[in-house]
A = this chain, B = another copy of it.
């Protein structure tokens, strides 16, 4: 069994990005700049956004954190999006989700210029992903594909069973892995809450991607010998073994499943760090105008 070390891989990629930033600056270019918009004071969102800013510092990107009170009107937020779209200093930006109920998320996302949409949530980027055009891929699926690629895991002709159909993980990773390219060329099955025979399907899989946010869902009896297991779940559960009283738990019963696998990602230290680094990779692409010229 090979443990897929997302943390180590992400660290390596950050060093690669930092090198590239140095080269850009040495050749007279400006450093890539990511802006993050945070509305309200949700604890989770606050943590995520702080990580993103810290990641930027580590690789030499510029970053801006724009905070709004949770009572901000939709129009004020849309005006800020417009301003960021037009600001040549900003290469890419994100609006941290979820937004308060009185603001239409889809309206805000559609207001973002697709060429600065480094979260890859704009329908143009989702559509380009589906039809195999250059795009900003959303961070988690991009991180999964990057890991599969760096670990030289064969995907062509393999059966990938995905559990979960969210817009930011299940659907895009299904599209990416079915595409005619490498990594890709998988036969792909998407299961979800209405699927009646998940175990029957996972037992036929070469690759299983668990992304439903149900801690420990994928048990040993659901996994065939030699499968590749990608665990996207990160649920905060109570724990008496940590100082905080909480720990992150994946969708896979890691201890029992790991011995059967050819490859497996741990939680934490698997897909999480790769998701964070994908945002940096997208911002670098935006700065280099690699997707939209």
Contact = CB atoms under 8 A, between A and B. Distances in A.
Contact of A196 (B106, B126, B157, B171): B157
Copies of this protein in the complex: 2
A128 B123 CA distance: 5
Given A124-B124, A126-B127, A127-B123, A165 B194 contact: no
A131 B171 contact: yes
A236 interface: no
A195 interface: yes
Interface stretch (A14-22, A57-65, A181-189): A181-189
Contacts of A190: 174, 178, 187-189
Nearest to A134: B106
A238 interface: no
Nearest to A120: B127
Contacts of A133: 106, 123
Contact of A187 (B130, B179, B189): B189
Contact of A195 (B171, B174, B187): B187
A11 interface: no
A132 interface: yes
A171 B106 contact: no
Contacts of A200: 204
A229 interface: no
A165 B174 CA distance: 12
A202 to B, nearest CB: 12
A189 B192 contact: no
A191 interface: yes
Contacts of A275: none
Contacts of A196: 157, 187
Interface in A110-126: 122-126
A196 B194 CA distance: 27
A167 B131 CA distance: 6
A178 B157 contact: no
